[in-house]
Copies of this chain bind each other. A is one copy, B any other.
Amino acid sequence: MPITDFRNDPYLSLLRPLVEAYLAFYRVGTRHIESMGVTSAQFDVIAELGGTDGLTCAELGEATLITKGTLTGVLDRLEGKDLLVREAVKGDRRAINIRLTKNGEDIFKEIFPVHAEFMKPYFKQALTKEEVNQMKVLLNKLRDSFGNT
């Protein structure tokens, strides 16, 4: 299969638009998130913990797809910023409960809406409401095909 077929193949021709659209979106979003003082990995952890009573490292690792050795470092940095605490778990002294501090919850509650408002106009100027609905259906099909875990 020659390389040039990449763009001509009825299915693979979707690859480039998908990557380009997401990267354009991601760069704008990440720049905004990092301007608020947390990295992407840290944002993911905060997003998982926000609104919960806490999760164990194992649960958090599964949710964020960060391996446990890596997760320790990410948690250390968030703990250093006073955004989360490690607590003992009753009944299993091997496990720890990771929970957002007041500070962390504040960040969570602040970052999400601010980020949402920041991103909204980009979507609004690009697509009609009908197109948004169309796109959601298509994106979910794609996600399921690649495995939504």
Residue contact B112 to A3, C-beta cutoff 8 Å = yes
User: Is A89 in contact with chain B by the CB < 8 A criterion?
Assistant: no
Which positions 97-149 of chain A face chain B at CB distance < 8 Å? 108-109, 112-113, 116-117, 119-120, 122-127, 129, 131-132, 134-136, 138-148
Question: Which B residues are in CB contact (< 8 Å) with A124?
Answer: 11
User: Is A73 in contact with chain B by the CB < 8 A criterion?
Assistant: no
Residue contact B3 to A109, C-beta cutoff 8 Å = yes
Question: Which B residues are in CB contact (< 8 Å) with A127?
Answer: 11, 14, 138, 141-142
Interface size (A, Cβ < 8 Å)?
55
* Chain A contacts to B: CB under 8 angstroms: 1-3, 5-6, 9-15, 17-18, 20-22, 24-25, 27-28, 50-51, 65, 108-109, 112-113, 116-117, 119-120, 122-127, 129, 131-132, 134-136, 138-148
Extra A-B contacts (4), CB below 8 Å, given A17-B139, A126-B141, A135-B138: A10-B129, A10-B132, A21-B139, A122-B142
